[in-house]
Amino acid sequence: MPQNKQIHLDNRPQGEAAVANFKLVQAQTPELSDGQVLVRHHFLSLDPYMRGRMNDAKSYAVPQPLGQVMGGGTVGEVVETKNPKFAAGDKVVGMGGWQEYSVVDGSQVGMLRKVDTAHIPLSAYLGSVGMPGVTAWYGLMKICEPKAGETVVVSAASGAVGSVVGQLAKARGARAVGIAGGPDKCAYVVNELGFDACIDYKAHGDAKSLYAALKDATPDGVDCLFENVGGIGLDAVLSRMNAFGRIALCGMIAGYNGLPVPISQPQLLLQSRLKLQGFIVSEHMEHWPAALTELGTLVATGKLKFRESVAQGIESAPEAFIGLLKGKNFGKQLVKLV
């Protein structure tokens, strides 16, 4: 059986997460038992939710145990099998974690799913046709429910989730406005993804300046906010929300590092009769089939565009992950393992 390099969580962050919280471990893949499958990972997905799991505190996810392989989504290829449902060469998506190989019980429902790579690139199953894509779909369709002509704002707009939110909103006839960090990301969001406007939050030092830019970009106010970040961006958009606006609360990167950023004007939630709903997509599995069908079709036909930041080798995962938390990635952050 092959050698298997793994990344373990070695210690929990005090404040900001750091590369030193992780440890590279050399392991051996075990012999397969009946029903098991050995998967060689081609790509590992890095996602902001992983930061929450590094803490021991109450959060929506169970804490990542110390001294064990970091959890995470993976795509790969079956290289050995003792399960009749899987053949060597099958392309599969699963939760293999931060390692080169995983041994999976192929009979457990939902642990491993075969995917078509004739029309959709394998890596997309970790992005637009995977958890981030379904996250975008669920928050937009089930919480925001934008109508044609309404305005949808999404933060982290060039990222794995945000890029899908804006493109789905456009497809439904809404105005899509992104918030992203830096002129390159904003240019991409408008020119490549087809958003109507994008605000570079790094060009605005305070909430007032950000608000002014947002006002220009949302002349008819904001009907839906898909919030991936929190902080002053959320504050600024709240002031632009129209009556009966909806907020899909998907991420709070700004708060993950132990410093929550307050909502400074909560009375706006009342004055504008807003609905705000926090969600995590893994609790809404009943919507995944419909979402993946639409997302898969859009990617296969070239109508849903995406971009990837790819780090090379499992050793690079910790640094790539810390970069993701700081917005250094551009599009979906992956680690290539083959």
* Site for a copy of itself, rule CB under 8 A: 52, 58-60, 230, 234, 243, 249-252, 255-256, 260-267, 269-280, 283
* CB of 250 or CB of 317, closer to a copy of itself: 250
Least CB distance to a copy of itself at residue 59 (A) = 5
Alpha-carbon span 276 to 143, nearest angstrom: 8
Beta-carbon count within 10 A of 126 CB? 27
Least CB distance to a copy of itself at residue 256 (A) = 8
* CB of 271 or CB of 312, closer to a copy of itself: 271
Parallel, antiparallel, or unpaired: how do β-strands 241-249 and 175-180 relate?
unpaired
Q: Give whole-number Cα distances, 284 to 185, 268, 291, in Å.
A: 30, 29, 11
| Whether 24 contacts 100, CB under 8 Å | no
Least CB distance to a copy of itself at residue 288 (A) = 17
* CB of 59 or CB of 117, closer to a copy of itself: 59
Least CB distance to a copy of itself at residue 261 (A) = 7
Least CB distance to a copy of itself at residue 53 (A) = 12
* CB of 24 or CB of 249, closer to a copy of itself: 249
Please, which residues have CB within 8 angstroms of residue 118's CB and are 6 or more apart in sequence?
A: none
| Whether 159 contacts 331, CB under 8 Å | yes
How far does Cα 192 stand from its chain's mean position?
19
* CB of 23 or CB of 284, closer to a copy of itself: 284
Question: DSSP assignment, residue 60?
Answer: S
Q: Give whole-number Cα distances, 76 to 115, 135, 211, 225, 233, in Å.
A: 10, 22, 44, 35, 37
* CB of 241 or CB of 295, closer to a copy of itself: 241
* CB of 137 or CB of 256, closer to a copy of itself: 256
Least CB distance to a copy of itself at residue 80 (A) = 39
Least CB distance to a copy of itself at residue 267 (A) = 4
Give the three-class secondary structure for 325.
helix
φ, ψ of residue 28 in degrees (nearest 5):
-115, 135
| Whether 163 contacts 308, CB under 8 Å | no
